[in-house]
């Protein structure tokens, strides 16, 4: 099978062309920018202030161990929110029409432990193009061999319990990002099937320089300023990253690995036989779209359908354009997958884990016994 995937619009779908025209008409008729508005800037100030305030309170050495541990957990959650609400839009170029503003806010990704350069390749280029395609979309590959989420993957005995241990693995996502993932992806020859062998020279410097800054700010400086033992620091540091990792892991998994989403396999020619936008609608899901809290905290990532179709539109506009997308999807008989609440999506994800782990293992064993 070809490693280069092409989307072939075999049914001549005009769904996306129609949706895009309607969304563009909305912005034109309302004389509204598709970038950040005052509400978005308010969110930005809130999250930046919260992140900086929590960090300064921790290194102030004013608090005892347990309050400081609580602050570290909150800092981890705020780090995820910084990523969701500010960096994600900035790296997509949707925060501002000014590329310099986007670059400045993209830089903040380094301060939560991740490389914006690597994220741009693995997420913006690969994930957004090859969503949920096994072997191509590495964003859904949490722990190959331990987590199974598609029919194409081999079944291993341990996966019988993946619905129990998966959430623990999600919690490790941030630690992996800080110490391993960015380095591995930077030096591997390809991400998915996208070649990554010609990085600009400055990105070699940026990777190590900004990692060093992160290690100084979040490891060396706290150890120098806070009156705690090394093992107390380790507990706080790991706790912060477990909170950050679980928050990130759950949100991203609930957008693509729930009941109803597809994990399509290209044909022998390497083609996905549908339009790219139709593919996005079958592989992406929304959740808790009526919750103002979810909208505020998750940076529009609970509206992944709109995000995947219009990644250059700031997430603050998703609630409005969602009405257009949903109505157009209904007209074209295209699925619009959504869960009413966060917990409904979480339950759906849990059932998916159980289906591809425990149920798949039992079915495989039954087939083996029948064959014998």
Q: Looking at residue 186, what is its pLDDT?
A: 93
Q: What is the pLDDT of residue 268?
A: 81
H or E element in which residue 237 lies: helix 230-256
Written as one string, the DSSP assignment of 2-69 is: -SS-EE--TT---HHHHHHHHHHHHHHHTT--SS--HHHHHHHHHHHHHHHHHHHHHHTT-S-HHHHH
Taking the C-alpha atoms of residue 86 and residue 79, their distance in angstroms, rounded to an integer, is 10
CB environment 161-189: b (16+ within 10 A), e (fewer)? ebbebbbebbbbbbbbbbeebbeebbeee
* Cα–Cα distances in angstroms (integers) from residue 147 to residues 140, 163, 173, in the given order: 10, 9, 13
34-48 pLDDT, tens digit each? 999 999 999 999 999
Least confident segment among 9-18, 67-76, 103-112, 336-345: 9-18
Q: In a 3-state reduction of DSSP, which class is residue 134? A: coil
Least confident residue range of 1-15, 21-35, 154-168? 1-15
267 band by pLDDT with thresholds 50, 70 and 90: confident
Mean pLDDT across 251-268 = 90
Q: Which of 226, 118, 218, 114 is nearest to 173 (CA)?
A: 114
Examine the pLDDT at 197 and tell me if it is beyond 80: no
> Which tokens go with 230?
């090394």
Q: What is the pLDDT of residue 279?
A: 93
Long-range contact set of residues 101-105: C-beta below 8 Å, sequence gap at least 24? 105/44
CA distance 132 to 139: 8
Q: How far apart are CA 251 and CA 256, in angstroms?
A: 9
Beta-bridge mates of residue 285 = 337
Query: pTM of whole model > 0.85?
Result: yes
Greater model confidence, 155 or 318 = 318
Point out the least confidently predicted range of 15-19, 59-63, 144-148, 227-231: 144-148
Distance, CA of 109 to CA of 171 (rounded, Å): 18
Say whether pLDDT at 216 is over 80. yes
pLDDT(91) > 60: yes
pLDDT of res. 167: 93
Q: What is the pLDDT of residues 108-164, one digit of tens each?
A: 999 999 999 999 999 999 999 999 988 888 877 778 888 888 887 888 899 899 999
pLDDT of residue 148: 87
How far apart CA 336 and CA 282 sit, in angstroms, is 8
The rounded percent of the chain whose pLDDT value lies above 90 is: 77
Would you state the pLDDT for residue 1? 42
Give the mean model confidence (pLDDT) for residues 99-116: 95
Instruction: Report whether 171 contacts 245 (CB < 8 A).
Output: yes
pLDDT tens per residue, range 33-82: 999 999 999 999 999 999 999 999 999 999 999 999 999 999 999 999 99
The pLDDT of residue 352: 92
Tokens 């014998």 found at: 372
Mean pLDDT of the chain: 92
Residue 192's contacts (CB-CB under 8 Å, 6 or more residues apart) are 122, 126, 130, 135, 136, 137, 138
DSSP letters spanning 98-127 = -HHHHHHHHHGGGGGT--HHHHIIIIIIII
| pLDDT given for residue 2 in this prediction | 46
Cα end-to-end distance, the chain, whole Å: 32
Residue 314 pLDDT exceeds 90? yes
| Residue 369, pLDDT score | 61
Residue entry with tokens 């964003």: 139
**Distance (Å) of CA 112 to CA 45, 82, 211, 225, 372:** 17, 8, 10, 20, 53
What is residue 217's DSSP assignment? I
| DSSP assignment string, 175-205 | HHIIIIIHHHHHHSSEETTEE-----HHHHH
């Amino acid at each position: 099978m070809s490693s280069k995937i092409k989307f072939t619009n075999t049914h001549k779908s005009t769904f996306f062309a129609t949706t895009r025209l309607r969304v563009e008409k909305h912005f034109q008729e309302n004389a509204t920018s598709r970038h950040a508005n005052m509400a978005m800037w308010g969110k930005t100030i809130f999250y930046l202030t919260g992140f900086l305030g929590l960090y300064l309170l921790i290194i102030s050495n004013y608090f005892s161990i347990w309050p400081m541990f609580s602050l570290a957990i909150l800092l981890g959650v705020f780090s995820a929110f910084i990523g969701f609400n500010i960096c994600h839009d900035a790296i997509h170029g949707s925060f501002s029409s000014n590329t310099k503003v986007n670059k400045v806010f993209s830089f903040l990704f380094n301060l939560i432990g991740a490389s914006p350069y690597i994220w741009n390749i693995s997420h913006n280029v690969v994930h957004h193009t090859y969503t949920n395609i096994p072997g191509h979309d590495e964003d859904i590959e949490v722990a190959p061999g331990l987590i199974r989420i598609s029919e194409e993957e081999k079944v291993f005995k341990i996966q019988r319990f993946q619905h129990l241990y998966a959430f623990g693995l999600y919690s490790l996502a941030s630690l992996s990002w800080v110490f391993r993932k960015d380095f591995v992806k930077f030096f591997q020859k390809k991400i998915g099937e996208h070649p990554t062998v010609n990085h600009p020279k400055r990105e070699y410097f940026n990777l190590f320089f900004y990692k060093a800054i992160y290690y100084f700010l979040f490891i060396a400086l706290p150890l120098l300023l806070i009156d705690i033992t090394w093992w107390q620091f380790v507990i706080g540091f790991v706790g912060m990253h477990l909170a950050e990792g679980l928050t990130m892991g759950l949100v991203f998994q609930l957008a693509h690995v729930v009941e109803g989403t597809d994990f399509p396999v290209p044909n022998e020619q390497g083609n996905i036989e549908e339009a790219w936008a139709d593919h996005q609608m079958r592989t992406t899901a929304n959740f808790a779209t009526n919750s103002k809290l979810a909208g505020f905290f998750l940076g529009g990532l609970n509206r992944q359908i709109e995000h995947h179709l219009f990644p250059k539109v700031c997430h603050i506009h998703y609630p409005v354009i969602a009405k257009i997308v949903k109505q157009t999807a209904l007209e074209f008989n295209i699925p619009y997958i959504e869960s009413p609440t966060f917990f409904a999506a979480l339950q759906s994800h849990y059932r998916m884990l159980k289906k591809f782990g425990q149920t798949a293992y039992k079915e495989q064993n039954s087939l083996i016994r029948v064959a014998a």
